[in-house]
Structures are given as C-alpha cells and as structure tokens.
C-alpha cells in the first residue's frame, strides 16, 4: 500500500503538489526532495503527451512517490492508458453526478468492481505479473479514485458520489467552484463557504476524507482546521515563479 492510499484510509493529513507543464522526468525527484508526499499529474490543463506522462509516472513509481493523473475526460481509452502506465490513481475533474464517477470506476477497476481491460505485460505490473486473479484484487485495492467537486451540482450530489464503491475521497477545485457560484476568485462568499462545509460534512457522513486543491497556504490551513485532510498546494510552475520572485526581491 502506498503512502497516499494509507493516509486516505486512515484520514491522515497529506500534502502534495501539481505537475502542470515541465516534462523532464527528474522533476519528480525534485518535488519529492522538496518534501511533497504525492504528485498530481495534470493531464486536464497540462499538455503532456502519453510518452511524457509514462516517463514521469515511471520515475514516480521507481522512487515510490504516489502519482495521480488528473484525466482530461471520462473515456475508456484515456483511463486504460494512464492506469497501464502505472498511475496510482485518477483525479476526476468536474465530477457532478454519481453516474460520472461510476463510469470512471468501470474503466479503472477490474472485475468484479469494474470492467477494466486486462493487459498485464505492462508497466503497472513491473512486467512481472502474479497470478491474474491475485493481481486483479491487488490492483483494485491499490487504485485511488478522487472525485474533484467543482460545481454547485457536484456539491449537491457529493454524498451520492462518495457512496460509489471504489471512490476514495472528494477534493474541491475552488476556482471553478467560485466561478460556478458567480464570484470568480473569491473563496469567502457565503455560498462558497457553505459548499466547502457541505463537502466536508458529506465526506464525514460517508467516512471518507475530503480535501482542497489551491495555492494559498493560509486558505489550505483554514480548510485543514475545518476537517479536510488531503491537500494539493500550488504546482511546479508556481513554485518556480514564487522562488524566482523571492530571490529578485531579496536581491533588490
């Protein structure tokens, strides 16, 4: 069991970051060296091709740093390729309904939970699979599915979404959620705060963790105080920019 899965199961605090543009595989080593406990590979907004994604996932697997792919769409071909590359799991943007996440489970989990296509001479088995029945059970137990809640509809349906077998947690995408609330960039309106509380409460009722994806550390700490445990802070591009600005400001 990897670190992220262990923390999700035990509802312990964990902090990761987003990889959004840099394709050099060793950036994964750098982010682990910086202390992050997992990586989200952004294939929704990021322009990684399959070969680049496979190389990044391979490095993460090799240094045992959990890596989650934020998928660009809910489609069998997309999900199959990322899972067979060795991704530890998937982050599903714009999860609005139970049916949305059920499709992901169908493609990402093996029978009897889902209908994931079987091809075991691949990176996800280290090209050395055990007996198929044993491996299918093991893979299902390891595969992480995170629902990204980004709309008012998703908030209304969060309990139904988290009730689906195989869904591990709900993470809020606050930028799109604030936009759906009619207040882009403002996370402190009454509706936004109510939505955050609703996701936390819904997750607690289902005995599952909740979390937040954002770059404002103070905001993330507030979410932690409210009961969230899973966080993704900033991205490699944000880290480079903030570090560069700090150096320039200190020098001047």
pLDDT in tens, 145-164: 999 999 999 999 999 999 99
Q: Give the separation between CA 119 and CA 161, rounded to whole angstroms.
A: 28
Query: Is the bond into 62 cis (omega within 30 degrees of 0)?
Result: no
pLDDT in tens, 31-48: 999 999 999 999 999 999
Q: What are 172's strand-pairing partners? A: 149, 212
Spell out a b/e string for 95-131, using b for 16 or more CB atoms within 10 Å of the CB, else e: bbebebbbbbbbbbbbeebbebeeeeeeebbeeebee
pLDDT in tens, 38-79: 999 999 999 999 999 999 999 999 999 999 999 999 999 999
Whole-model pTM? 0.97
């Amino acid at each position: 069991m990897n670190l992220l899965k262990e923390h999700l199961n035990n509802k312990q605090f964990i902090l990761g970051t987003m990889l959004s543009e840099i394709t050099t595989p060793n950036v994964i080593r750098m982010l682990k060296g910086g202390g992050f406990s997992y990586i989200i590979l952004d294939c929704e907004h990021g322009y990684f091709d399959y070969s680049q994604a496979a190389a990044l996932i391979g490095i993460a697997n090799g240094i045992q740093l959990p890596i989650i792919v934020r998928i660009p769409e809910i489609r069998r071909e997309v999900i199959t390729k990322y899972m067979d590359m060795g991704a530890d799991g998937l982050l599903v943007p714009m999860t609005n309904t139970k049916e949305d996440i059920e499709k992901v489970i169908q493609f990402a989990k093996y029978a009897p939970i889902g209908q994931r296509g079987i091809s075991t001479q691949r990176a996800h088995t280290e090209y050395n699979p055990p007996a198929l029945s044993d491996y299918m059970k093991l893979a299902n137990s390891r595969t992480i599915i995170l629902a990204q809640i980004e709309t008012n509809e998703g908030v209304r349906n969060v309990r139904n979404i988290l009730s689906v077998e195989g869904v591990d947690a709900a993470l809020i995408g606050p930028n799109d959620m604030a936009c759906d609330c009619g207040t882009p960039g403002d996370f402190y309106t009454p509706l936004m705060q109510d939505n955050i509380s609703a996701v936390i409460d819904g997750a607690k009722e289902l005995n599952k963790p909740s979390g937040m994806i954002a770059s404002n550390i103070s905001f993330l700490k507030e979410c932690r105080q409210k009961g969230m445990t899973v966080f993704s802070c900033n991205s490699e591009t944000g880290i480079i920019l903030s570090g560069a600005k700090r150096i320039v400001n200190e020098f001047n």
